[in-house]
Amino acid sequence: MPEETLLQKQDRLCKIIEILRREYPDATCTLDYTTPHQLMVAAILAAQCTDERVNQVTPELFREYPDVEAFANADQTELENRIRSTGFFKNKAKAIIASAREIIQNFGGRVPETIEELTSLSGVGRKTANLIIGDAYSKPAVIVDTHVKRISKRLGLTEKEDPTKIEFDLREILPEEESTHFNHLIVAHGRAICKAPTPKCEICPLVELCPTGRQRMSLTLQ
């Protein structure tokens, strides 16, 4: 695919989003939650763990610890035992308790709404911060997880490896109103077709808009 201008890349991305919306009309955040803090806890648990596993753990967890104060006062060993199946449970329990105390001490008990404030909390990086901003607070956000990192590169939307740099590349071309939902569409597409390590380009609805897909298909046809 020849070198694109910024406007051409924006136009191509809009076409990609339109197709993905048709293919995955029910795409949404795959972590179950009802409050911003529950989403934050679920996101911390999801590190190196599947969302499916996290969703098996959190219903009972959120009944036992219904709010920020309950997590702030949690016994670490008890919390570790409740989240053990998500892996890395010692570090996760420590981060969950510490971040709850920080929310109470620094933000009056309410999960903050900015990247800078959210990333000041224990266990919260830019990916989780953007997830909270986008899904819990319905503000424009660019969530760069492993699916977005992999597929954005395949689609020729970025050449970067660093998630923060990918985030800023995407911010430059994503319509604000589509930015949060873009992650959920890409996750759905990554699980269904654009898998790691081998994408199913032969059945991909984006292949004509994807430089990686077009190259792979042209090699297949030779």
d(CA 59, CA 33): 9
More confident residue, 122 or 4: 122
pLDDT category at 221 given cuts 50, 70, 90 is: low
| Domain ranges in the chain with CATH number 1.10.1670.10 | 6-28+142-221
Q: Is the pLDDT of residue 54 over 90?
A: yes
Q: Is the pLDDT of residue 70 over 90?
A: yes
Closest to 190 measured CA to CA, from 202, 175, 200? 200
Q: Is the pLDDT of residue 68 over 70?
A: yes
Residues composing the chain: 222
Sign of CA dihedral 50, 60, 98, 130: positive
Closest to 43 measured CA to CA, from 119, 114, 102? 119
Q: What are phi and psi of 49, to 5 degrees?
A: -150, 155
d(CA 178, CA 180): 6
Average of per-residue pLDDT across 144-153: 97
| Domain ranges in the chain with CATH number 1.10.340.30 | 36-110
d(CA 36, CA 34): 7
More confident residue, 219 or 61: 61
- Structurally, at CATH architecture level, domain 6-28+142-221 sits in Orthogonal Bundle (1.10)
d(CA 91, CA 74): 14
Q: Is the pLDDT of residue 3 over 90?
A: no
CB 119 within 8 A of CB 158: no
One CATH from 1.10.340.30, 3.40.50.970, 3.90.1150.10, 3.40.50.10210 for 36-110: 1.10.340.30
Average of per-residue pLDDT across 206-214: 95
d(CA 169, CA 219): 29
**Global confidence as pTM:** 0.93
Q: Is the pLDDT of residue 222 over 90?
A: no
Q: Is the pLDDT of residue 1 over 50?
A: no
Sign of CA dihedral 14, 15, 17, 18: positive
